[in-house]
Amino acid sequence: RGWIMTNLCTSVWVPDPDAVWISAQLLHDYNPGEKHLLLQLSDGTVRFHPVVSPSDLPPLGNPDILEGENDLTALSFLHEPAVLHNLRIRFLDYSSIYTYCGIVLVAINPYDQLPIYGEEVIDAYSGQDMADMEPHIFSVAEEAYRTMTREEKNQSIIISGESGSGKTVSAKFTMRYFAVVGGAAQQTSVEERVLASNPIMEAIGNAKTTRNDNSSRFGKYIEIGFGRKGNIIGANMRTYLLEKSRVVFQASAERNYHIFYQLCASRDFPEMRSLKLAAPENFRYTSQGGEMQIPGTDDLSDLERTRNAFTILGVQSDQQMELFRILAAILHLGNVNIQASGRNSDRSYIDADDGSLAVFSKLLGVEGPQMAHWLCHRRLTVGGEMLVKPVSGQQAVEARDALAKHIYGQLFTWTVQTLNSALRSQRGKPTSFIGVLDIYGFETFDRNSFEQFCINYANEKLQQQFNRHVFHLEQEEYVREELEWSRIEFSDNQQCISLIEGQLGLLDLLDEECRMPKGSDESWVRKLYDQHVSSKPHPHFRKPRMSNSAFIVLHFADMVQYECDSFLDKNRDTVFEELINILKASQSELVAELFQQQVNPSVANGSLRSGKRAHREHKLTVGFQVSDLSIVKILTLYSPHNNLDERVTLNFIRTVQGLLKDRTDSPPPQLLMDVRRVFPVTFPSSPPPLPHADQLDIPDALKISFLRKV
Ligand SMILES: Nc1ncnc2c1ncn2[C@@H]1O[C@H](COP(=O)(O)OP(=O)(O)OP(=O)(O)O)[C@@H](O)[C@H]1O
Ligand SMILES: *[C@@H]1O[C@H](CO)[C@@H](O)[C@H](O)[C@H]1NC(C)=O
Ligand SMILES: *[C@@H]1O[C@H](CO)[C@@H](O)[C@H](O)[C@H]1NC(C)=O
Ligand SMILES: *[C@@H]1O[C@H](CO)[C@@H](O)[C@H](O)[C@H]1NC(C)=O
Ligand SMILES: [Mg+2]
């Protein structure tokens, strides 16, 4: 099994409850069949290590000479402890956060400002061959830029990693690199505008979560367009999957989108007075997390940054104020008090003198009493006849929150469109582009819902592209090296993806349930159990033992339990037509404009649920349709099995949580999980003999083949 005992190879790694892995020396030769190894651990203790089956043989240590290698694929033995150890050594001894793993650049989040991003460093990497330089984010950027200019091949840099591991920061460094090397001799404002889009997108799309103070709650793919001479001439971005639920709800210790706090912080500015803002404690939509301040950041100066960026992009201050007015209105909408009434609380009303409603209506230029009426009533068509029916307090609150989310979503889309027009090339169509994909990372929380489900599904798709791409390359390498590769394993995560998007899969059934008049989350999840547990057990699906309202998906990265509660609502994401009509009639031009286009253009062409539903209630479905996620389209666009692949080169960056970030949970389980996700490996069996993947105890879905440098 490749576990050969020689004098050269006497160091091994053994699992340790504290240090995760601890290195040890073998004190005696081991012969097959023996029940123990005699080891001396690096802390000096001597102990027997039981060997019941061959899989108990510990992973072998690498020769000292390979310590700190800048490409992990150069290690003789590539397994989890080797990866961890090598990254640690590079980080601690060489202060190097970057390491290659074949075609992938691994970036460790240092949680510290390092002096390695200055213009002199950019100059040093510019024009250099990747192989001659130490691994760096700039070397990946340079490689993409060079291939683009020399071979006229479009490029995409795909950045993935967990939440908080540094994807957005890495994306910004690549953009800065292109702005410098692709800047015209005569400094133009294009590069400046491309960079200025970042603070704006961060203000409206980032929020504090328990994992990251600056967490992107949307995915972003930006294509930077270059002219014939390799200079930037424009850019275009696409966003997907904005987490709209955050606008009305934040979990403990989390915040709403930064922009709301930035505005609240500016409440005393003369120009902001008319917005009637207050401290974030005073708004339902900004205070639910309980912590309004992020240590080390200043919302007021961040607002200045946001405003400057808008100005650079040509959004003038009166238009900015329009935007801020709508954002403030959302906060006031959240404070509108809805009272329950009626014998069974089956009705609701809003006080005629509700102050928040008055401010909301004034800011948006709409009729307050109409708004109040249609929040608390609904129009129905029964047998061709129109009826107006009162709704319960709970339903009215849901309508209010849905409206807030919808307004924010429209504002977000509008902003992206506005930025895109400001970034559009003035000098004709770009000859080539470099795309940068900052997908938000796989995430699991204590409680996971629809949002996590969508994010993790997108990550699953990304992983598949990654697997296939690497496998593809490896095949070529083996053919070139004339290695026998019959035993290379390739496991795809297609099974898990089919579970989600296939026929009778999770989305299919969710869709169907949404179409049922009496559909419910519970009945959906029961159908999932019926289909994927009872009738045909799916290897990537489980029912939790203790719950009838949750389901477990075995993703490539981790097992995640999702609570089914509100999946249907979030999938439908309904706003009622009457409310939209009120907004359409707004005196504010921007407000009216936002609601003219009723359906978010990025999701207009839904595949599964396009119309054809006999709604008895008058509502609009405005949410994204999971089956039509634009991220999925982007990823399939770059599928290696698509001829586009011949034209687009992929560059991968994997970001990894910092090793040392004041983590009290030592050993950091998160890091370990991350490393397991980053370096799932299998090996060819010959030549030379190496430990086999089975020994690494990696679930099948995790196995990818990696290039071995010979
Ligand atoms: N190269 C780096 N140098 C210094 N600090 C970094 C670096 N990369 C990341 N950080 C720190 O880590 C924080 C989180 O990084 P970032 O916001 O890029 O994570 P992310 O992967 O985009 O997470 P999410 O998926 O939540 O958006 C940053 O705010 C920054 O403080
Ligand atoms: C988010 O990151 C930017 C830098 O990229 C920083 O200026 C800003 O203060 C951060 N915001 C928060 C709330 O951490
Ligand atoms: C690269 O992208 C540009 C802009 O989309 C396109 O016009 C061009 O044909 C592409 N180049 C190649 C080689 O595919
Ligand atoms: C939707 O599809 C139609 C035809 O298939 C196309 O013309 C239109 O541009 C698409 N809309 C969007 C927003 O993609
Ligand atoms: Mg991010």
Looking at the predicted structure, is the pLDDT value of residue 631 above 50? no
Query: What pLDDT was estimated at residue 377?
Result: 94
| Residue in 212, 456, 459, 574 annotated catalytic | 212
Q: What is the 3-state secondary structure (H, E, C) of 595-624?
A: HHCCCCHHHCCCCCCCCCCCCCECEEECCC
What per-residue confidence (pLDDT) applies to 174? 96
Report pLDDT for 664.
47
Burial of 366 (0-12, 13-18, 19+ CB in 10 A): buried
Beta carbon of 647 within 6 Å of any ligand 3 atom:
yes
Residue 63 predicted with pLDDT over 60:
yes
Cα–Cα distance, 254 to 286 (Å, whole number) = 9
Of residues 1 and 538, the one with the higher pLDDT is 538
| 162 annotated as ligand-binding | yes
In b/e form, how buried is each residue of 200-222, taking b as 16+ CB within 10 angstroms? Answer: bbbbbbbbbbebbbebbbbbbbb
Over residues 106-118, the mean pLDDT reads: 89
Highest average pLDDT, of 41-50, 308-317, 500-509, comes from 308-317
Averaged pLDDT for residues 397-414 = 93
Residue 384 pLDDT grade (very low, low, confident, very high; cuts 50, 70, 90): confident
Of the two residues 654 and 703, the one the predictor is more confident about is 654
167 is in an annotated binding site: yes
Q: Letter for the amino acid at 357?
A: L
**Is the model's pLDDT at 705 over the cut of 50?**
no
Local confidence band at 31 (pLDDT 50, 70, 90 cut-offs): confident
Distance 206 CA to ligand 1 centre (A): 12
Rounded to 5 degrees, what are φ and ψ at 583?
A: -65, -35
Best mutation site among 224, 429, 431 for ligand 3, i.e. most ligand atoms within 8 A of its Cβ? 431
Tell me how far apart the alpha carbons of residues 89 and 267 are, in angstroms, rounded to a whole number: 49
CB 687 less than 6 A from any atom of ligand 4? no
CA distances from 632 to 221, 436, 443, 497 (A): 12, 15, 18, 11
Residues 178-222 have pLDDT tens digits of: 999 998 666 568 899 999 999 999 999 999 998 889 999 988 889
pLDDT at residue 7 is higher than 60: no
- Give the C-alpha separation, 462 to 193, whole Å: 29
Q: What is the pLDDT at residue 24?
A: 93
pLDDT band at 628 (very low <50, low <70, confident <90, very high): very low
From the candidates 160, 163, 209, 239, give the one annotated as an active-site residue: 163
Query: How far is Cα 391 from Cα 578, in angstroms, rounded to an integer?
Result: 14
What phi and psi values does residue 660 have, to the nearest 5 degrees? -115, -10
What does the pLDDT read at residue 482?
A: 64
Residue 644's pLDDT is: 37
Of 612 and 104, the one with more pLDDT: 104
- Higher-confidence residue of 635 and 503: namely 503
Query: How far, in Å, CA of 357 to CA of 404, rounded?
Result: 13
Overall residue count recorded for the chain in this entry: 710
Q: What pLDDT was estimated at residue 4?
A: 46
Mean pLDDT of the chain: 81
Predicted confidence band of residue 669 (pLDDT cuts 50, 70, 90): low
Ligand 1: distance of its center to the CA of 531 in Å? 40
User: Is residue 227 among the annotated active site residues?
Assistant: no
Angle at 170 between CA 168 and CA 171, to 5 degrees: 65
Atom of ligand 2 nearest to the CA of 299: 13
Backbone angles phi, psi at 485, to 5 degrees: -125, 25
Q: Which atom of ligand 2 is nearest to the CA of 297?
A: 9
CA 604 to ligand 4 center in whole angstroms: 7
Predicted TM-score (pTM) of the model is 0.84
For the segment 542-585, what is each residue's pLDDT rounded down to a tens digit? 999 999 999 999 998 788 999 999 888 887 777 788 899 999 99
pLDDT for residue 597: 58
Q: What is the pLDDT of residue 226?
A: 95
* Bigger pLDDT: 334 vs 468: 334
Ligand-binding annotation for 161, yes or no, is yes
Tell me what pLDDT residue 470 has: 65
Angle between helices 506-515 and 494-501 (to 10 degrees): 0
The model's pLDDT over 407-417, given as tens digits with 9 standing for 90+, comes to 999 999 999 99
Percent of the chain with pLDDT over 70: 79
Per-residue pLDDT tens digits for 632-664: 444 444 433 333 344 456 667 777 766 545 444
> What confidence category does residue 508 fall into, taking pLDDT thresholds of 50, 70 and 90?
confident
Q: What pLDDT does 484 receive?
A: 53
* Rounded Cα–Cα distance for residues 654 and 100 (Å): 10
How does pLDDT run across 212-240, given as a tens digit for each residue?
899 999 888 899 999 998 999 999 998 87
Nearest CA to ligand 3 atom 3: 432
Cβ–ligand 2 distance for 558 under 6 Å, the answer no
pLDDT score recorded for residue 176: 95
Mean pLDDT is lowest, of 155-164, 277-286, 466-475, 591-600, for 466-475
| Angle in degrees, CA 603, 609, 610, rounded to 5 | 70
- Sign of torsion, CA 285 291 292 294? negative
Reported as a single tens digit per residue, the pLDDT across 151-166 is: 888 888 888 877 788 8
Where do we find the tokens 């490689």?
A: 143
- Known catalytic membership, residue 606: no
Which residue from 163, 212, 451 has its CB within 8 A of the most atoms of ligand 1, so it is best to mutate?
Answer: 212
Q: Quote the pLDDT of residue 84.
A: 83
Could you please report the per-residue DSSP string of 172-194?
A: HHHHHHHHHHTS-SS--HHHHHH
Q: Is the pLDDT of residue 8 over 60?
A: no
Ligand 4: which residue has its CA nearest to atom 9?
Answer: 605
